[in-house]
Structure 1
Amino acid sequence: MLLASYFACALLLAACLALELASCRSRPPAAPHHANPAFRRFQRGYYCVYLLALAADWLQGPYLYKLYQHYRFLEGQIAILYVCGFASSVLFGLVSSSLVDRLGRKKSCVLFSFTYSICCLTKLSRDYLMLVAGRVLGGLSTALLFSAFEAWYVHEHVERYDFPTEWIAVTFSQTAFWNNIIAVGAGGAADFFAEWLGLGPVAPFMVSIPLLVLSGVFAVKNWDENYGKKRAFSKTCGDGLKCLLSDRRVLLLGTIQALFESVIYIFIFLWTPVLDPHGAPLGIVFSGFMAASMLGSSLYHLAISKRYHLQPVHLLSLAVLLVFFSLFMLTFSTNPSQESPAESFLAFLLIELSCGLYFPAMGFLRRKVVPEKDRLGVMNWFRLPLNLLACLGLLILHDSDRQTGTRSMFGICAAVALLALLAVGRLFALSRHDAELRLTALPGQADADATPEL
């Protein structure tokens, strides 16, 4: 597994580099924003804070399960810790946007740095309740990470600096690109500190703290405060529910998101116990996963280009189909009597590649069918079944036998992916007669919100 992990990571990175170079050659001449020094300076101020926050978040990905295992907790106990994190994410995710608008976007970003630092410090404790508290803080921090930073940027971009709104997509697209690079590098860095320096699985969490502190300090020093409009939470959710039930396209998208992403959440929990017993370097494996996701994103942009002109709904269908196929593979490769870690690793890479296709396609379709004024409420309703399904899956795993439970869970996930595939099929049929679900403008700036929300 050691050599296979390094080889797969290198191969995927080479493929990403080749696609990026090809994309650079076919890119149109530099747009006006490239020649605007004020805009470039504003972007750099945003990147300094947000990219440090993302780096700290990604560093914690490879060794979370391993850390709990290192503390001698059973798989069922670890599953409960993950459930606490998901449940916390549900609760805080529902109110995070209102909280951020009232508290202030800058203060919320600084609060993120503080709460996530405390979350990392709790990883030094072997006390189960302290680790539960850490997971709750992690849920709050994740909710702030995916709401406060972008909300601050959009307000400053439009209200304070009065830059053209089309340039927002440029910044978010570049952020998504650097986010992928950072994610790949974070896996290697986590492996270096945990394995090469022999500091153990808690090391990546400690390394995250200085990055979080720097992010908070830069926000305090360089950012101005801004606030959002006060919105009644009940009205936001009520309007979102009306939109969800009145448009079957929105309902189908919500169904697909809940089914697909709940499977991804369970995959995030299961990949470590499947590969770790076979000597896989977890940090490098994680880098390989992120490289596969980046390759999927590059393939998405290539597929919707003028040369191929595929539609996002086609790529969404392909992503769900690939995940179903991968989970079907995993029901065989995780058979206790004849485990095949190489096949499992390949299946995991395919799942990550599917995520690279899925998130930009889903982002495009959501923007097309969900009105801006209802988007927050609709997203709250989307997240609720998503996290509940993920929690239910982990609770089922908690009550099952270790040897057969993992294989059974992949079987259940394959069935869930099949349901998602049926919903995608229905959406695909609708798109043939619905111009709103099709990409008509020149691609290249349609997928700024392609970053995964997991």
Structure 2
Amino acid sequence: MIDMSSNLTFQDSHTVKMTEGERWLASMTYSLFVALAIVCLFLQYLAQRTKSQVSSGNNKHFLQFQKKYFIVYFLALFGDWLQGPYVYKLYSHYGFVESQIAMLYVVGFGASVLFGTGTGALADRFGRKKMCICFSIMYSLCCLTKLSPNYYVLMLGRFLGGISTSLLFSTFESWYVYEHTQTYDFPTEWISVTFSKATFWNGILAINAGVVADLTSEWFAFGPVSPFIVAIPFLLLSGALVAQMWNENFGDQTTHSFKACMEGLSLILLNEKILLLGIVQSVFESAMYIFVFLWTPILDPGKPPLGMVFSVFMICIMIGSSVYQLLSAKHVSSQKILTLAVFLSFFSMCLCVISTNPQDPKLMLSFIAFLVIEISVGLYFPSMSYLKSQVIPESHRANIMNWFRVPLNIITCLVLLWLHTEDSKAGNRIIFVDCSLMMFIGALVMWRLDSLLAHEDVTKGGKSSFHEEV
């Protein structure tokens, strides 16, 4: 009897503490949204005053070209971001346990591994414009499957979503780089201006997507499926504008798709810079996708407003993007900024190892670590995109970029399959240990890549495109 009552007393005090923690986490989320938004706006104001932003901004043809790319790409991204905060919640709402949800994620990543690489070769051979239109149709069908609570229909949706994601993060960028360099012949350093702007506005879109998702699902009580339905018109409009506004461009059209795939893989294995860049993308984005799966169940005991937490994360990405622009204006090379992003991610993953101790979980420390992760993501994307535009040959661009996604999807699948069989509360800490090891490998690879690019600069007799002011 004494043991039972003492146990009840402990549980009651633990419940009180959790209630206070819940209130504190919720209020902190809203306060952080305001504070970080102010910091972000200030940094972006400074970034817009840099020389490269001013010079590219004075070219009307470049601005018109950017607008033609952004209006389509941002609609596609907005449709993608609308789904972000409620993917996990929807599956949970339909009554699936975490192991079943993990399997749904595995199907999506597996589809990207099996078929994503082929879509890159198809885009290079048959046209990137056509594949962007296919993306909008396929992703819309993926959203429609979310209306069904049937597990196999949802699996079909994840299958379509995995292929669509591969197209979104390779074909659009490949189309832009070709048009920028081949059709319009703009300065190569302006590519980084576009990618840094895209990352910044990507954050704005994601913030608004988080708010819209929160409004439709929580405030208007349409449920967690509503953001997926709202995404469909944005995805279809993106495809319609591609058909109307964009030119068609191609990679290597002389070989069949399978041979083109193998040629892309051969280029990766034979060119050390491409290989190292692919390794960095694989380890960084693997950790990022694992984090995307884990952040909701880790923070959920604190009952935070998920849409607002998602918006705070996106503000952190925008802060990282603005810092990228400022560092570039100070002649810091993209590979050094990418190295900084990898080190920040490594540091935050180590914090997560501490905060996810199953005997003593620290929600606030996890939240802070997650914010650092998102800042590193904001630094990562424009620097990685610029380096890929300089290192990857145009003939196999979409193909190679999809090959880069194969190992990251395999790694993510293996982790989620492991989650399928292990207790998640105990397993989260081990997963973050693995992510820390991956980021440590990424840091070593970046050290080698940085030395290669620095040597290339010296052999070329000074300042190369990698060190030009962005």
TM-score bracket for the superposition, by shorter chain length:
0.7 to 0.9
| Distance in 2 (alpha carbons) for counterparts of 1:358 and 1:429 | 19
| Distance in 2 (alpha carbons) for counterparts of 1:320 and 1:44 | 31
| Distance in 2 (alpha carbons) for counterparts of 1:101 and 1:320 | 30
CA offset digits 1:370-411 (Å, max 9, x no partner): 444454454344222121111111111111013212222112
Q: Is the 8 A contact 2:196 2:325 kept in 1?
A: no
Instruction: Tell me the amino acid that sits aligned with residue 184 of structure 2.
Output: F
| Distance in 1 (alpha carbons) for counterparts of 2:276 and 2:62 | 38
Aligned counterpart for 1:140 among listed residues 163, 173, 176: 163
| Distance in 2 (alpha carbons) for counterparts of 1:205 and 1:384 | 26
Residues 32 and 87 (structure 1 numbering): CA distance in 2 closer, same or farther, change over 3 Å?
closer
Q: Aligned to 2:239, what secondary structure does the other structure show?
A: helix
Q: Is 1:275 equivalent to 2:299 in the alignment?
A: yes
Structure 1 range deviating more: 125-134 or 435-444:
435-444
Aligned counterpart for 1:19 among listed residues 17, 24, 43: 43
Bigger Rg over Cα: 2
| Distance in 2 (alpha carbons) for counterparts of 1:311 and 1:33 | 21
Q: 1:375-454 to 2 correspondence within 5 Å?
A: 375-430=397-452, 433-435=455-457, 440=464, 446=470
| Distance in 2 (alpha carbons) for counterparts of 1:444 and 1:189 | 39
| Distance in 2 (alpha carbons) for counterparts of 1:314 and 1:182 | 27
Structure 1 range deviating more: 223-232 or 345-354:
223-232
Q: Which residue of 2 aligns with 1:163?
A: 184
Q: Aligned to 2:332, what secondary structure does the other structure show?
A: coil
Structure 1 range deviating more: 2-11 or 244-253:
244-253
Alpha-carbon RMSD across the aligned residues, in angstroms, is: 3.0
Q: Is 1:313 equivalent to 2:360 in the alignment?
A: no
Instruction: Tell me the amino acid that sits aligned with residue 14 of structure 1.
Output: I
Instruction: Tell me the amino acid that sits aligned with residue 142 of structure 2.
Output: C
Q: Which structure features the higher share of helix residues? A: 2
| Distance in 1 (alpha carbons) for counterparts of 2:390 and 2:63 | 29
Shift of 1:327: 1.5
| Distance in 2 (alpha carbons) for counterparts of 1:388 and 1:88 | 10
Instruction: Tell me the amino acid that sits aligned with residue 289 of structure 1.
Output: F
| Distance in 1 (alpha carbons) for counterparts of 2:53 and 2:267 | 40
The runs of 5 or more residues in structure 2 that have no matched partner are: 1-24
| Distance in 1 (alpha carbons) for counterparts of 2:28 and 2:310 | 13
Q: Is the 8 A contact 2:174 2:398 kept in 1?
A: no
Residues 384 and 55 (structure 1 numbering): CA distance in 2 closer, same or farther, change over 3 Å?
same
Q: Is the 8 A contact 1:110 1:220 kept in 2?
A: yes
Q: Is the 8 A contact 1:301 1:444 kept in 2?
A: no
Q: Is the 8 A contact 2:355 2:365 kept in 1?
A: yes
Shift of 1:13: 1.9
Q: Aligned to 1:199, what secondary structure does the other structure show?
A: coil
| Distance in 2 (alpha carbons) for counterparts of 1:389 and 1:346 | 25
Aligned counterpart for 1:60 among listed residues 77, 83, 89: 83
Aligned counterpart for 1:91 among listed residues 106, 114, 120: 114
Residues 445 and 47 (structure 1 numbering): CA distance in 2 closer, same or farther, change over 3 Å?
farther
Q: Aligned to 1:201, what secondary structure does the other structure show?
A: coil
Q: Is 1:253 equivalent to 2:277 in the alignment?
A: yes
Shift of 1:96: 1.4
Structure 1 range deviating more: 143-152 or 179-188:
143-152
Residues 425 and 93 (structure 1 numbering): CA distance in 2 closer, same or farther, change over 3 Å?
same
Q: 1:116-131 to 2 correspondence within 5 Å?
A: 116-131=139-154
| Distance in 1 (alpha carbons) for counterparts of 2:47 and 2:57 | 19
Percent identity over paired residues: 47
| Distance in 2 (alpha carbons) for counterparts of 1:430 and 1:394 | 35
Shift of 1:55: 0.8
Q: 1:40-59 to 2 correspondence within 5 Å?
A: 40-41=63-64, 43-59=66-82
Q: Is the 8 A contact 2:79 2:231 kept in 1?
A: yes
Q: Which residue of 2 aligns with 1:232?
A: 256
CA offset digits 1:129-159 (Å, max 9, x no partner): 0000000111122223234444555666677
| Distance in 2 (alpha carbons) for counterparts of 1:77 and 1:439 | 52
TM-score (norm 1): 0.87
Q: Aligned to 1:304, what secondary structure does the other structure show?
A: helix
TM-score (norm 2): 0.84
| Distance in 2 (alpha carbons) for counterparts of 1:312 and 1:32 | 18
Residues 130 and 444 (structure 1 numbering): CA distance in 2 closer, same or farther, change over 3 Å?
farther
| Distance in 2 (alpha carbons) for counterparts of 1:255 and 1:26 | 32
Aligned counterpart for 2:229 among listed residues 189, 206, 221: 206
Q: Is 1:293 equivalent to 2:314 in the alignment?
A: no
| Distance in 1 (alpha carbons) for counterparts of 2:373 and 2:34 | 18
| Distance in 2 (alpha carbons) for counterparts of 1:236 and 1:285 | 42
Structure 1 range deviating more: 72-81 or 316-325:
316-325
Residues 40 and 34 (structure 1 numbering): CA distance in 2 closer, same or farther, change over 3 Å?
same
Q: Which residue of 2 aligns with 1:450?
A: none
Instruction: Tell me the amino acid that sits aligned with residue 261 of structure 2.
Output: C
Shift of 1:323: 1.6
Q: Aligned to 1:335, what secondary structure does the other structure show?
A: coil
Shift of 1:66: 0.9
CA offset digits 1:335-376 (Å, max 9, x no partner): 222221111111111111111222233334444444444544
